[in-house]
A and B are shown apart, each in its own frame.
Chain A
């Protein structure tokens, strides 16, 4: 290949110098720069006022942020959220499977459950379970008042409520799986349980994780409702302090900042969970 070219360059005169490459000059976006500067300045002013306003009492915030009672409340909020999410999604998955079953009675029961627990306020449900002793003083010879303490009521009440929403999220995920996947699994002789756990649910997870992440964060903050039945979660433990010291704003800030911290960690976690369930899809890896 190189020989003819070599001979050519000897005989022919040098080619004319190539034109210099054209430089691209981007449009000046003065308006964009002005808008960005304005927004940043406004945010900066807001931050400065928050820091300099003595009424926020940042020293009090710092004092209580890692106090023992607040951390105890945080731990309770975290495990209550974890338990409610886990049990709620377990029950929710069962409800979703029932709703999609061929048995009309099971379908109706599942629908009725979701209807009932979504149409009553969680606050009322909690107070109901809290006062179950007034309706059923004894169940199988055991005093219900002794049976269910505030924490147990919180777990039961929040879980049953969570399950109704989880059922719809899981059902949506299952319905998003291509019908052909189930047929393929059936044609290979895979049993019902195996089809659900190995073929359908792993693929449904892609559609389940984003709304489940929403629910997790909602539940984290939503557990603060248990303060009405005197469970010492994150919010209630800060309330106990300000009932004593009247430093309402800084203690609410303590609780708020913790909620922000935990939510941020969970959001990062969600990214990795989503990446895990996206394996095998176009564009992944």
Chain B
């Protein structure tokens, strides 16, 4: 796509254990709106799953249930065999206290469409914040790790800048570095390039591709079909709160079985 620097993948590689994800019969309503209508999805450890679908199909909501930013109405989400947001005892699910949910979230990195960097903190402080305050890492150590991550996303010289001084693409790369600072076993991307100017999309996708090659489990909600074809192990197509079909990109993208998938692809390709 573009020839933006993607640093040597080995440079900042950290020994992270990758996680598998199991989603079972998940339903979610927003008032009268039934956004998720029984989602079952398995993501194997180390695989990249790309979720496609029209706006309002529930793909972002699904992603947000995986780190409990959105509570499910029924069904279960588990990451590496552990239920997210609940504890099971017999046939009952007990809601976890916030402290325990927060601890679970430190194992899951989340990248937002609009970056949501902390504007009053420097790039370095943005990245260091979670390791220092959530994982109680010594600040020195966290800063050294943060600088390595910045190098990895090609922004080693921007550590002391404030987010607003960076381009959209650079901000999103900082946001990715911030998510990586917790060394998560699972990375969730919610339309990471949708808020970017077209010429900045490539630099962010290159960073994500680089991560995909490093073997972290990733779920990416996106409209970038080319990216899905190149990077995904599995492509999931969602519509109206259901998974319409899923499979390897060659299958879903090139010879979709479902009429709805074909109609969607013909519009975006």
* Chain A residues proximal to chain B, CB less than 8 Å: 178, 180-181, 183-192, 194, 198-199, 202-203, 277, 279-282
Contact between B134 and A191 (Cβ–Cβ < 8 Å)? yes
| Assembled-state Cα–Cα distance A190/B110 (Å) | 13
| Assembled-state Cα–Cα distance A180/B195 (Å) | 14
Q: List 19 A-B contacts (CB under 8 A).
A: A180-B112, A184-B110, A184-B118, A186-B102, A187-B67, A187-B105, A187-B110, A188-B178, A188-B179, A189-B105, A190-B129, A191-B134, A192-B98, A198-B129, A199-B118, A277-B120, A280-B122, A280-B162, A281-B119
B25 within 8 A of A: no
Residues of B within 8 A of A277 (CB): 120
| Assembled-state Cα–Cα distance A279/B162 (Å) | 8
A187, A199, A279 — which one has the most chain B CB atoms within 10 A of its CB? A187
| Assembled-state Cα–Cα distance A191/B98 (Å) | 8
Contact between A190 and B112 (Cβ–Cβ < 8 Å)? no
Q: How large is the interface on B (under 10, 10 to 19, 20 to 34, 35 or more residues)?
A: 20 to 34
Task: Report which of B102, B112, B162, B163 forms a contact with A189, defined as CB distance below 8 A.
Answer: B102
Residues of A within 8 A of B106 (CB): 188-189
B103, B106, B130, B179 — which one has the most chain A CB atoms within 10 A of its CB? B130
Residues of B within 8 A of A189 (CB): 102-103, 105-106, 130, 134-135, 182
Task: Report which of A194, A280, A281 forms a contact with B133, defined as CB distance below 8 A.
Answer: A194
B116 within 8 A of A: yes
Q: A183-B116, A184-B118 are in contact. Are A190 and B69 (CB under 8 A)?
A: no
Q: Which B162-186 residues have a C-beta within 8 angstroms of A?
A: 162-164, 178-179, 182
* Chain B residues proximal to chain A, CB less than 8 Å: 67, 69, 98-99, 102-103, 105-106, 108, 110, 112, 114, 116-122, 129-130, 133-135, 162-164, 178-179, 182
A183, A188, A190, A198 — which one has the most chain B CB atoms within 10 A of its CB? A188
Contact between A183 and B112 (Cβ–Cβ < 8 Å)? yes
| Assembled-state Cα–Cα distance A279/B121 (Å) | 9
Contact between B105 and A181 (Cβ–Cβ < 8 Å)? no
Apart from A191-B133, A280-B120, what 17 extra A-B contacts exist at CB < 8 Å?
A181-B116, A184-B112, A187-B105, A187-B112, A188-B106, A189-B134, A189-B182, A190-B102, A190-B133, A191-B102, A199-B118, A202-B120, A203-B119, A203-B120, A279-B120, A279-B162, A280-B163
Residues of A within 8 A of B116 (CB): 178, 180-181, 183-184
| Assembled-state Cα–Cα distance A183/B118 (Å) | 11
Q: A194-B133, A280-B162, A282-B164 are in contact. Are A187 and B69 (CB under 8 A)?
A: yes
Residues of B within 8 A of A281 (CB): 119, 164
| Assembled-state Cα–Cα distance A19/B164 (Å) | 45
| Assembled-state Cα–Cα distance A202/B129 (Å) | 14
Contact between B105 and A198 (Cβ–Cβ < 8 Å)? no
